[in-house]
Amino acid sequence: MTDIRGVVFDLDNTLLQSRLGAAAGLRVAASEISQELRKHGLPFSKLQVLRKLNVIERERRAPSSGLVPRNLYDRDNWWKLLLKDIHASQIPRQWIHKTTLQYWDAYQNSSPPFSDAEATVRALKQQGYRLAIVSDSDGTRGMKKKRVNAVPFRSLFEFTIVAGEDTPKVKPSKAPFRLVARKLGLSTEKCAYIGDNPQTDIAGAKAVGMTTILVKRKPYWVRVDDGDPLVMDPRPSFEINALREIPALLAS
Ligand SMILES: [Mg+2]
């Protein structure tokens, strides 16, 4: 793969341990929402709310019922879905967006980089690869760039494309992948994209002709409920178990 000049990364669950952050965010949101419901005479415990939010999150990631649209990123809508589910849509909602901001705060503070992320990115930089990030919008405008800027080794990347904000649609649309190549001054064939999600990362990058590398972050690409693996469609060019495998893979 000696013709690869640009290496582009996904953020969540690829560079950052975002499953930890997502869990922390939901715990904070469940606490806030439980308090709001109690104010209006609806005695839902934090744990009861958390269980419902976990269902909404899981459905959003791997929809089975069709109740939750795929790629529903705006957390305001998660809390609204919950209210609808418990027939409490009538209660005042001025707390909704504040809860989303508290959620993202907890998410960011609890999503450390994977242990090999910085060393891998630093090695690629030293080898002369052009580096960038393509990540989907968090649904709250500006939030993803704020989170990227908090990454301790952010300065190793030239720039970030936020799909759904810098481009009309989120991954797997082709636009963010085309845009990152154009901004790097490279053809898409000279770029490799590294992500953890076959349906969004691999599908989008492959569609524009990039080399695709799937980092296997269980259980993100395995159904949590029944253990059935998701269909790996489309297939990535390469699968790796850890980011540290990338430099040798690109040099091969
Ligand atoms: Mg990801």
Whether 180 is in a domain gets the answer yes
> How would you class 8 by CB atoms within 10 Å of its CB: exposed for 0-12, middle for 13-18, buried for 19 or more?
buried
pTM, two decimal places: 0.89
167 and 121 in a common domain:
yes
69 and 152 in a common domain:
no
| Residue 196 alpha carbon to ligand 1 centre in Å | 5
Whether 130 is in a domain gets the answer yes
Does residue 228 surpass a pLDDT of 90?
Answer: no
Peptide bond preceding 92 in cis form (omega within 30 of 0) = no
Q: Which residue, 109, 131, 162, sits at the end of a domain?
A: 109
pLDDT value at residue 72: 79
Whether 174 is in a domain gets the answer yes
125 and 75 in a common domain:
no
Q: Which residue, 59, 92, 109, sits at the end of a domain?
A: 109
Whether 1 is in a domain gets the answer no
128 and 162 in a common domain:
yes
CB 204 within 8 A of CB 173: yes
pLDDT value at residue 231: 53
Q: Residue range 210-227: average pLDDT?
A: 70
Instruction: Supply the range of the domain harboring residue 60.
Output: 19-109
90 and 197 in a common domain:
no
pLDDT value at residue 67: 53
pLDDT, tens digit, for every residue of 50-107? 999 999 988 877 655 555 555 578 899 999 999 999 999 999 999 999 999 999 999 9
48 and 163 in a common domain:
no
| Residue 13 alpha carbon to ligand 1 centre in Å | 5
pLDDT, tens digit, for every residue of 9-30? 999 999 999 999 999 999 999 9
What gap in Å lies between CA 147 and CA 73, rounded to an integer? 15
| Residue 222 alpha carbon to ligand 1 centre in Å | 14
133 and 33 in a common domain:
no
Q: Which residue has the tokens 């649904």?
A: 139
| Residue 228 alpha carbon to ligand 1 centre in Å | 20
226 and 128 in a common domain:
yes
Question: What is the total count of domains within the chain?
Answer: 2
| Residue 9 alpha carbon to ligand 1 centre in Å | 9
| Residue 96 alpha carbon to ligand 1 centre in Å | 25
138 and 70 in a common domain:
no
Other C-beta atoms closer than 10 Å to the C-beta of 243 total 24
Q: Residue range 101-121: average pLDDT?
A: 97
Q: Which residue, 56, 87, 109, sits at the end of a domain?
A: 109
Q: Residue range 102-129: average pLDDT?
A: 97
| Residue 20 alpha carbon to ligand 1 centre in Å | 13
pLDDT value at residue 233: 64
117 and 97 in a common domain:
no
| Residue 11 alpha carbon to ligand 1 centre in Å | 6
CB 208 within 8 A of CB 181: yes
CA 225 to chain centroid, in Å, comes to 20
Report the percent of the chain where pLDDT is more than 90. 81
Report the percent of the chain where pLDDT is more than 70. 89
pLDDT, tens digit, for every residue of 135-181? 999 999 999 999 999 999 999 999 999 999 999 999 999 999 999 99
| Residue 215 alpha carbon to ligand 1 centre in Å | 9
51 and 153 in a common domain:
no
| Residue 167 alpha carbon to ligand 1 centre in Å | 18
